Structure 1
Amino acid sequence: MKILVTGSAGFIGFHTVKKLLQRGDKVVGLDNINDYYDINLKYGRLAEIGIVREAVDWYKFVQSSEYPGFRFIRMNLEDKQAIQMLFANEGFDKVINLAAQAGVRYSIQNPYTYVSSNVDGFLNILEGCRHHHIKHLVYASSSSVYGLNGKVSFSEHDSIAHPVSLYAATKKSNELMAHTYSHLYDVPTTGLRFFTVYGPWGRPDMSPFLFTDAILNNRSIKVFNNGDMLRDFTYIDDIVEGVIRVLDNIATPNPDWNAVTPDPATSPAPYRIYNIGNSSPVKLMDFIQAIELACGHEAEKNFLPMQLGDVYQTNADTTLLQTDIGYKPCKDIVEGVKETVEWYKNYLLK
């Protein structure tokens, strides 16, 4: 099996590539290594899978020194011609699209970046899949698409008509675009709504990393909405296991789909949407306490109001994932936080 993984220098992408390689797949990794956060972390991830930083250049393949089945290329999803050539030359069987401009709060400051990367770039991936008969496209959506939806837990069957950030709007757009290609061109697509992913090699703009970094370096932490928030924290290994199981379970039409009462999660086309979350929301203050325990001392807390674009809680209903794929994330939060903090100490406090 030959698989394209975009965003392969990113948090989820790196772990996904590593798991695919360990099971024997051939993988081409793509990433533009942008500077949204520290590129040294991205190159550190690539080094773990045998890609030497000095060898990485634009539009040139680098062969892994650790895995014969892995090659990496630095490329922008927005580069239409380059993506077309990549698909034409490589003969991929399946595609995992994890590349995107991430960050809810950053989308408020830099909206144009999100449209070019998350919409224009995703269109190039869809076109590549359409013209080269890709067996299955699995792509990253986000729990942020639920927006103002007050019903919990969040279900794929619910409406996502009211996003509260441009980032969320672009992810909703991805789901709509994917359905169009599934309907028009019979491209099997599955969108995965990730819920607050954390773990080793995590993103430094997200709270698990920010809290750990601040506590271990004796700085105060920012606690928004005065700590009154809940998040469905999901460990990275659980996310990757879900991604790969979904990849292997190619999307099919729903024979029972009813146009009078349409189900947003399925379609008469080969199209599916799944939540991937721990389905056990954790109070923000309890999560901070778990980090404090793993770090060995209490954090100094700076309590602040809710930020623009944030939501009060996230809570994944994973019934569909369990029914269709036979999988449910289950990592204990205390154990997951402990492993995350240990990685931080070993990698960044050497």
Structure 2
Amino acid sequence: MNILVTGAAGFIGSHTAERLRQLGHNVIGLDNFNNYYSIELKRLNAKSIEDAGVEIYEADLRDPDFGKNLTKDIDYIFHFAAQPGISSTSSFEDYFSNNFIATKNLIDFGLNCTDLKMFVNIGTSSIYGLEATSPENVAPKPASFYGVTKLAAEQLVLQKSREKQMKACSLRLYSVIGPRERPEKMYTKLIDLGLKGEPFPLFEGSDSHLRSFTYVGDIVDGVVSVIGKEDEIDGEIFNIGTEVEHTTQEGIEAVEQVLGKSIEIKVVPKRAGDQLRTKANIDKARKILNYNPQTSLIEAVEAQVEWFKTNFVD
């Protein structure tokens, strides 16, 4: 099949593009290579997926004409591109344009792909709000611009399914970790600062926050499992992540264990909108997608440390 992956130079998008190529699909990747975080890291990711046989194009989904030079012979769209996370440097306009307007433009492109079998929106547990422990049928209560705009984007996509204009589903991902994690995210920053012997800034009170830290390979298992189930999953939402919870403190200790050294902690003020608990309820994904994440926290951290040392340590 011909598959379009947006955000293909990003963390999870790049892993998914590689997996789809390994499964024998023709994969086209899109990314705008913005400077939200290191463009060098995005270029490194892009090279990895190009070496795997993925075609990657630089394009900004906020431009309604982003797809004018792309083939319309697309069977599947996996939509990862977004303004991610909770950041004081990102404005509401950043979240709105990258998460809502960009999704609307991609939907319009998809509607012109006459053989499109499924539009797969990549959502987030932040849609649920400060506590993300619920099944998919619980009313969401997002507590950040990120969560609000990702919920709105998700509903834009599912609207087209309700209107029978295209088949679509949405996957809400939980606390993804592993190789290629963004530099401002917890584990990459812990590894980087731990190796340098510099203090890690920990948001006040967050050491007791609970997370479904899920290895990126287990996330990709769930993402690609939707292929071939178009009729069964049309219009549906699925939580994708591990049911195993760890505190942030346990995450810090896992990195210390793998590095073989203690990490100095510097407590900084709380971050507004930060989730207190995420625990993926994956009963629906287990039943319909046969989803079964297996990677332990230590195994995930070991893989991430190896990747970091290979690419960023002389």
1:52-93 CA distances to partner (integer Å, 9 max, x unpaired)? xxxxxxxxxxxxx652xx32110000111232x256x33101
Divergent runs of 4+, >3 A: none
| 2:277 alignment counterpart | 313
Q: Distance in 1 between matches of 2:292 and 2:165?
A: 28
Match of 2:121 among 113, 117, 139: 139
Alignment of 1:207 onto 2:193: no
- In the TM superposition, residue 132 of structure 1 has moved relative to its aligned partner by 2.0
Residue of structure 2 aligned with 1:338, choices 299, 302, 311:
302
| Pairing 1:104–2:103 present | no
Residue 73 of structure 1 corresponds to: 57
TM-score, length-scaled by structure 1: 0.85
Note if 1:222 corresponds to 2:206. no
For residue 49 of structure 1, report the CA deviation from its aligned partner.
2.4
Structure 1 runs not aligned, ≥5 long: 51-64, 254-269
> How big is each residue's C-alpha offset from its partner over 1:94-143, in whole Å with a ceiling of 9 and x where there is no partner?
1111111112124x742111111111110011112223231101111000
| 1:276–1:316 CA contact under 8 A, matched in 2 | yes
Q: Distance in 1 between matches of 2:228 and 2:312?
A: 35
**1:115 paired residue among 74, 84, 96:** 96
Counterpart of 1:324 in structure 2 is: 288
> SS at 1:29's partner residue?
strand
For residue 92 of structure 1, what is the amino acid of its counterpart?
I
Q: Do 1:190 and 1:251's aligned partners in 2 also have CA atoms closer than 8 Å?
A: no
User: What's the CA shift string for 1:238-263, capped at 9, x where partnerless?
Assistant: 0111111123321547xxxxxxxxxx
Aligned to 1:126: 107
Q: Which has the larger radius of gyration?
A: 1
TM-score scaled by length of structure 2: 0.95
CA RMSD of aligned residues (A): 1.6
Aligned to 2:149: 170
Taking the aligned partners of 2:302 and 2:311, their CA distance within structure 1 comes to 14
Partner of 1:189: 168
Whole-Å Cα distance in 2 between the matches of residues 340 and 300 of structure 1?
20
- Residue of structure 1 equivalent to 2:72: 90
Q: 1-side partners of 2:183 and 2:22: how far apart?
A: 26
Mark the runs of 5 or more structure 2 residues left unpaired by the alignment. none
Tell me how far apart the structure 2 counterparts of residues 171 and 330 of structure 1 sit (CA, whole Å): 27
Code of the residue aligned with 2:13 in structure 1: it is G
Asked whether the 8 Å contact 2:211–2:246 carries over to 1, the reply is yes
Tell me the distance in 1 between the aligned counterparts of 2:65 and 2:267.
48
The C-alpha deviation readout for 1:145-188, integer Å capped at 9, x for no partner, is: 1114x5x632112110x211101001100121112111123311
Task: Count residues in correspondence.
Answer: 312
Q: Is the 8 A contact 1:77 1:117 kept in 2?
A: yes
SS in 1 for 2:159: helix
Task: Determine helix, strand or coil for the equivalent of 2:21.
Answer: helix
1:244-323 matches, cutoff 5 A: 244-252=224-232, 270-323=234-287
Opposite residue 208 of structure 1, the aligned amino acid is: Y
> Are 2:36 and 1:36 equivalent residues in the alignment?
yes
Q: Secondary structure at the match of 1:248?
A: coil
